[in-house]
Amino acid sequence: MSGRSPQGAERTAAALSGPGHRSAPEETPRRAPGPAGTAPAPNTAAATAPAAGTATATAAAEAPATGLAPGTGPRTGPRTHLRRATRRVRRTAAVLAVLAAGAVILAALNSGTRHGHLDPRSADPTGSRAVAALLKERGVTTRVVTTAREAADAAGPRTTLLVTAPDRLGAGQRSAIRSAIDLSGGRTVLLAPGDHSLSDLSPGVRTEGDAGADDLDPRCTLPAATSAGRAGTGGNLRYTTALPGATACYPSGGHPTLLVLPTGTAGGDTVLLGSETILLNESLAEQGNASLALQLLGSRPDLVWYLPSLADSDPGTGDQDKSLLELVPAGWSWALLQLFLAAALAALWRARRLGPLVTENLPVAIRASEATEGRARLYRKAAARDRAATVLRAAARERLASLVGVAPTQAHEPAALVPAVSARLTGEPRDVTALLFGTTPSDDAALVALADHLDALEREVRTS
């Protein structure tokens, strides 16, 4: 293989000598301009980049891909852009962290006062904290339980047991509540029980569809109903029964929405209430709802408020039809909504304005040779031998492909390029595959040797 040319060795040493060294203008060969409209000859500085210093040749070969026009250069360096991007990321992360912390704090503050539907501790519109507070003023103690076993154990002659969701109970839980109804001697209030639970909790009673109106008149002799007057017991279920001793109140279409049934134990009774409206915070002050609720739940000094848990739910019923948003607690829903709005505002604030690209005239014009030399020094400082070797080999393969008649699309395929190049060599045999498609040089000396070998290979093919 032929050695390095003196001119190539001189430029290689200049490019690798150090950051402060610059080659003199007279060391760069110039070519007389050709006729107008003709392309530069193949032996120009761009075409013979592998013969120059490895770093300089790498920068020259890569310059078209980076979009640098001759005579121009970047206004700011890559480090400046990196610092600006880092600052933007840090500011955005800080804003998001503050928003997330605020959302968590807000949800934590609200979680202590917000509970579920019909919960006597909840101040939400669908909670029942208001009626629990009124009962407390009248000396009634309210106890919240979440399992059927706790509810059955707490039931007694001086107790009112309120079951808020009878249809959610499993067979074992319904059996426990039925035993409490028969043996406790107290009052049991079943809130809107359907046919699914009536067969076990109150045999002999069945539903008759929904009531047409929300507010109904009592039309019965039950003292609690007559003193309360018109109340919001409609809008949900109606009942019918042939059991003796039953008291039917607040009828709608001939069927009651409030039914009181005596139990086998003396003094005990069961109240079937077809609607939950009279227990909700949002409707307690309407009509005679408060009076009716206080009389139904405050007839005994102790009130056991049974909120069935998931463990007590029947696998065939429950929350399976609820959406994901309905299962999220109210406090967290508001916190997530505020966080989403804050993130949207932050995105609008930090987003780039859309529009056509605008060409900006750079204030400083830089010679193409200086830009190439500066890029070469960056490669040398970063010890980017892998990148330099890749660019040198790719540029050499493209030029060799045009010399040996290989299509540009196959210039980087060993099976197409290597046989064509080998056929043009007349000197001693050499490993063209390793030279054009080999591994990364191990050190700077190997990188310089690679540049020399590529230069020699191209000269031999060009002159053959």
Structure tokens at 412: 């980087």
Structure tokens at 311: 């463990």
Residue range 76-112, pLDDT digits in tens? 455 666 677 778 788 888 888 887 787 777 666 655 5
Q: Among 455, 463, 464, which Cα is nearest to 56's?
A: 455
- 3-class DSSP state for residue 305? strand
Tally Cβ neighbours within 10 Å of residue 209: 11
Looking at every residue in the chain, the average pLDDT score rounds to: 78
DSSP secondary structure string, 317-371? SSSTTS-HHHHS-HHHHHHHHHHHHHHHHHHHHHSPPP--------SS---HHHH
Q: How far apart are alpha carbons 64 and 421 in whole angstroms?
A: 25
pLDDT tens digit at each of 464 positions of the chain: 334 444 444 444 333 434 433 333 333 333 334 433 333 333 333 333 333 455 555 655 554 444 444 444 444 455 666 677 778 788 888 888 887 787 777 666 655 545 678 999 998 899 999 999 999 999 999 999 999 999 999 999 999 999 999 999 988 999 999 998 988 889 999 999 999 899 999 989 999 888 878 889 999 999 999 999 999 998 889 999 988 889 999 999 889 999 999 887 777 899 999 999 999 999 999 999 999 999 999 999 999 999 988 777 665 544 445 566 666 666 677 777 888 888 888 888 877 666 677 777 777 778 888 888 888 888 888 888 899 899 999 999 999 999 999 998 999 999 999 999 988 888 777 788 999 998 999 888 999 999 999 999 999 898 87
Q: What is the DSSP letter of 39?
A: P
Query: What pairing do the DSSP bridges indicate for beta strands 302-306 and 141-145?
Result: parallel
Task: Name the phi and psi angles at 30, rounded to 5.
Answer: -115, 155
Amino acid at 404: V
Q: Among 119, 111, 124, 123, which Cα is nearest to 143's?
A: 119
User: Is 127 in contact with 280 (CB distance < 8 Å)?
Assistant: yes
Q: List 306's β-bridge partners, or say none.
A: 145, 163
Residue 86's alpha-carbon distances to 82, 342, 344, 382, in angstroms, are 6, 22, 21, 21
How buried is residue 453: exposed, middle or buried, by Cβ count under 10 Å (0-12/13-18/19+)? buried
Task: Name the phi and psi angles at 271, rounded to 5.
Answer: -110, 125
In the block, which residue shows the tokens 């005679």?
A: 288
pTM summary value: 0.49
- 3-class DSSP state for residue 242? coil
Residue range 33-49, pLDDT digits in tens? 443 333 333 333 333 33
Altogether, the residues listed in the chain come to a count of: 464
Q: How far apart are alpha carbons 354 and 101 in whole angstroms?
A: 32
Burial 102-112 (b: 16+ CB within 10 A, else e): ebeebbeebee
Amino acid at 296: L
